[in-house]
Amino acid sequence: MGSGSGLDYLPGYLELSFENAVLFFYTGVLEPFLFNFVEVFYFSHSKISFILFVAVSISLGGVFEDLRAESAAALSDIGFDGYAIGGLAVGEGRETTFRILEAVTPLLPAGRPRYLMGVGKPADLVGAVMRGVDMFDCVLPTRSGRTSQAFTRRGQVNLRNARHRDDPRPLDDQCACPACAGYSRAYLCHLVRSGEILGLMLLTRHNLTYYQELMAGLRAAIEKGELAAFAADFAARQESGDIEPL
């Protein structure tokens, strides 16, 4: 557990917040158990498969660089088809997540896909790709769609807000998804305020379309050697915020 240990350390840690208590339990108790499980599970099966990559090649170590390095080295020695990075984005904050990614990704084998588990918002994806991550999974685009939230090129938009009630413009005029191509903000606002399931379905389709387009844009930028410029443009657009109300 980093530099602190013993009875004088635990109470001080637990006093900070409930989230930190959960993080302490996860890092100090659950992760060592999971890591042991990784080795037992791996050596009890002869075939290396994509399922093994997803299921057990999980780099752990919480927010401690030394534990992360230990985990990455052990997993690299086993030699998986790809490597998952787990135990991040659990309340430690984006700055810490990025700091740990900068420490972990160089330690994982080059040429093997790196999968950051359970992340995240569009800015998290761009920041993680900048730090060497290749793959993601997250409930956010679909769950947010079910709570009236849309992710767009100009940041997050809440379709429940009254400002959209009489707005005939699409959610995003550059998006080809069914929600943007076929309906106005006013209609989407009406749907979510009325509890119509179509509203949640359309926003989910939009969010999934936006996430796929964002990742396609990142892939294209990498191929052209323009990732830094892409990230700067992405941040500027997100910062600009939603279109002005009518």
Distance CA 99, CA 44 (A): 34
Provide the minimum distance between the beta carbon of 176 and Zn ion in the complex, in angstroms, as a whole number.
7
Contact status: 206 vs Zn ion (CB under 5 A): yes
The verdict on 159 binding Zn ion (CB under 5 A) reads no
Q: How far is CA 192 from CA 12, 181, 196, 201, 242, in A?
A: 45, 18, 6, 10, 19
At its nearest, how many Å lie between Zn ion and the CB of residue 141?
A: 11
Written as six digits, the tokens of 113 are 């896909």
3-class DSSP assignment, residue 134: coil
Strand 58-59 and strand 83-85: the pairing is parallel
Determine, following the binding rule CB under 5 A, whether residue 180 of this chain makes contact with Zn ion. yes
Choice between 115 and 211, CB closer to Zn ion: 211
Work out how close the CB of 23 gets to Zn ion at its nearest, in angstroms, rounded to a whole number: 36
C-alpha span between 173 and 170 (Å, rounded): 6
Q: Which of residues 15-34 bind Zn ion (CB under 5 A)?
A: none
Q: How far is the CB of 51 from Zn ion (least distance, A)?
A: 33
Centre a 10 Å sphere on the Cβ of residue 220 and count the other Cβ atoms it contains.
12
Do the beta carbons of residue 156 and residue 240 sit within 8 Å? no
Nearest distance, CB of residue 208 and Zn ion, angstroms: 9
Report phi then psi at 67, rounded to 5. -70, -35
Q: Which of 52, 85, 175, 221 binds Zn ion (CB under 5 A)?
A: 175
Q: Are 217 and 230 in contact (CB under 8 A)?
A: yes
Separation of first and last alpha carbons in the chain: 54
Query: Is position 104 an interface residue for Zn ion (rule: CB under 5 A)?
Result: no
131 binds Zn ion (CB under 5 A): no
Strand 58-59 relative to strand 155-158, pairing: unpaired
Give, as one character, the DSSP assignment of residue 29: I
By CB under 5 A, residue 177 contacts Zn ion: yes
**Region binding Zn ion by CB under 5 A among candidate stretches 39-47, 105-113, 136-144, 198-206:** 198-206
Total residues contacting Zn ion (rule CB under 5 A)? 5
Q: Which is nearer to Zn ion, 89 or 180 (CB)?
A: 180
188 binds Zn ion (CB under 5 A): no
CB 172 → Zn ion: shortest distance, Å?
Answer: 5
Q: Look at residues 198, 210, 223 and name the one whose alpha carbon lies nearest to residue 172.
A: 210
Name the one range near Zn ion by CB under 5 A: 68-76, 85-93, 113-121, 169-177.
169-177
Which residue number, 138 or 180, has a Cβ lying nearer to Zn ion?
A: 180
Q: How far is the CB of 171 from Zn ion (least distance, A)?
A: 6
Residues that bind Zn ion (CB under 5 A): 175, 177, 179-180, 206
